[in-house]
Structure 1
């Protein structure tokens, strides 16, 4: 009988150390997680706990702003996914409602004279910062300090994953050089405990689009991972200081489906507000994603044709946001159809 396994907590510190046996165990444990469901948690990394706490406070300060002030930096004011996202803007799971979360999208500061901006590369442009938030300079500084720290950690995670594939830790440097990554501040409003979780999920069941995601959770919880062998939903318990790490669709494609991009969701049934900060590492937009070494048996063909990071992730974005817009239009039509027509008055 198969036993469901929640994503384990791995000590990442041997990656930086000189203990070869401990590092070998870390590589082996990480390989097992990637083969099983692509999810694990890590502690012992180099992102300071004080910085994690400070950036979570930044997220809460932003979402405490009045809606009209958050809407001043609506991400729909640009084409490169920077700024505020209103509740129910995205829909990742067919059959649910648009998701009960709001967000602030942040990335590397890309000026309008940067080649990425001029060439309309993936999510590349200047950040939109809230102008009315108290101590906005500190807000911006803390946010970007954290962004860069997690960017470096994501590169370390990919170096470790390279070792699990039996290649040098520098293998993914062409992917990580000039990489695009998007960070989100996310806020999930409290839901009544009897709320229909099918229609009012924080995030519907989905897989991530890019290469690797690093998630910082608050203490509330709500993240669940589908255990495929048992078809059970498993809670990913928040651990202070730890990151939830998971592979995305782009990595699974490169791994010829050997390493997994697994289904997960958020259902906030706690009766409390929930905050989280996912960091989506896509990669260099022009990097051509092809089948990785040691990801197919002798004579086994690659399952997927080569594709750039840009094309893969952009296509996934369009599907999820288009799904939400289509749902809203259907609901509006349904509402209009159910409105009683005014009676004609004859004279």
Structure 2
């Protein structure tokens, strides 16, 4: 099978800090253009040091390889709100909300189980939801490091919002000011090693680790290991997904969420994405004919996502009144929208 072409561009975020205003503005316009094409872009030199990202992955690895009884000492609540603490494999099913904003004529209606386990955390001073941390005697470094990493991601997030606003020639603070309450969520995800035969099919010739979906918030800052599998929907060919190849561990994958699509009147789309399995390797069958190897094992995979979420009372109306369209507009607040999108996933 021929490899599908990639579609995600790579931009150097260090250019955003140029002292030359023309160079800075040109970068911001390029960022908006790239997000507008694909809903995804890769950023390097974004401000999060490589050693910090590597340590975050190491701590995630250490946590997910704890015995189940120790991971369950910081359990996710039984409902979909709030996203806090540890969720074992099978607890969340993003496939239940995979059809949001989708033309049903081309999308598979199969609701797939997510083959992953996760750990969620939010702003430590959120007045509504408290964090759920591993006991200090189980993971002594977990809470202090993740709090520091969370805060660093928030600083980078606000710079990215400023860059997007400048790229649209809007007030540079218009997006950042709707994220002052820091109601974001950070998720560590582990896809355990699994036989390809044990994955469910989405109705195509391949199988999936997590169903196609859009993110609910503004933007997502994503890091992934070298295993790969992330795919984004081609905005020109709906229903076709193309790989978002894994680069260096500190390479940031930036994608737009539903709220960004509302604010920009679909000028920046919330691209659906999934974590897919590679095509099955072939092995000789009983009669010597090559067949899919039922014993093919997919290696474990890790990712870290910082989901930026607007302040709960923020409006989702377009940032520019001229961008209003009935199709890409909602009257709910950001908080109401988040609750509506997450309902039923647990």
TM-score by length of 2: 0.81
- Aligned residue among 236, 244, 251 for 1:242: 251
Change (3 A) 1:294 1:24: farther
Query: In terms of mean alpha carbon deviation, does 31-40 or 16-25 score higher?
Result: 16-25
| 2:128 pairs with 1:96 | no
Aligned to 1:81: 83
Aligned to 1:311: 336
> 2-side partners of 1:295 and 1:255: how far apart?
10
Aligned to 1:263: 272
> What is the CA-CA distance between 1:288 and the residue it aligns to?
1.8
> What is the CA-CA distance between 1:294 and the residue it aligns to?
6.6
> 2-side partners of 1:217 and 1:303: how far apart?
30
> 2-side partners of 1:65 and 1:276: how far apart?
17
Aligned to 1:277: 304
Change (3 A) 1:25 1:103: same
2:25–2:167 CA contact under 8 A, matched in 1: no
2:25–2:166 CA contact under 8 A, matched in 1: no
Change (3 A) 1:282 1:33: same
Aligned to 1:19: 20
- Aligned residue among 274, 288, 301 for 2:315: 288
1:109–1:127 CA contact under 8 A, matched in 2: no
Change (3 A) 1:80 1:162: same
Moved over 6 A (4+): none
What's the CA shift string for 1:224-279, capped at 9, x where partnerless? 01113234321111121211001101111122222100010012447211000011
Query: In terms of mean alpha carbon deviation, does 287-296 or 167-176 score higher?
Result: 287-296
Instruction: Report the secondary structure of 1:262's partner residue.
Output: coil
Aligned to 2:51: 50
Q: Which has the larger radius of gyration?
A: 1
- Long gaps (5+) in structure 1: 118-123, 322-347
1:210–1:281 CA contact under 8 A, matched in 2: yes
> What is the CA-CA distance between 1:23 and the residue it aligns to?
2.1
> What is the CA-CA distance between 1:84 and the residue it aligns to?
0.4
> What is the CA-CA distance between 1:221 and the residue it aligns to?
1.0
Aligned to 2:122: 107
> 2-side partners of 1:182 and 1:303: how far apart?
25
Aligned length, in residue pairs = 305
> 2-side partners of 1:319 and 1:258: how far apart?
29
- Aligned residue among 201, 211, 223 for 2:218: 211
Following superposition of structure 1 onto structure 2, how do residues 1-347 of structure 1 map, counting pairs within 5 Å? Answer: 6-76=7-77, 80-93=82-95, 94-110=109-125, 116-117=127-128, 124-134=129-139, 136=140, 138-198=141-201, 201-231=208-238, 232-240=240-248, 241-269=250-278, 271-293=298-320, 296=323, 303-321=328-346
Aligned to 1:337: none
> What is the CA-CA distance between 1:126 and the residue it aligns to?
2.9
2:161–2:176 CA contact under 8 A, matched in 1: no
2:74–2:132 CA contact under 8 A, matched in 1: no
Instruction: Report the secondary structure of 1:252's partner residue.
Output: helix
- Long gaps (5+) in structure 2: 96-108, 279-296
The structure that is helix-richer by fraction is: 1
Query: In terms of mean alpha carbon deviation, does 53-62 or 222-231 score higher?
Result: 222-231
Change (3 A) 1:303 1:46: closer
> What is the CA-CA distance between 1:296 and the residue it aligns to?
2.1
Change (3 A) 1:109 1:214: same
TM-score by length of 1: 0.81
> 1-side partners of 2:5 and 2:53: how far apart?
30
> What is the CA-CA distance between 1:36 and the residue it aligns to?
1.4
Aligned to 1:120: none
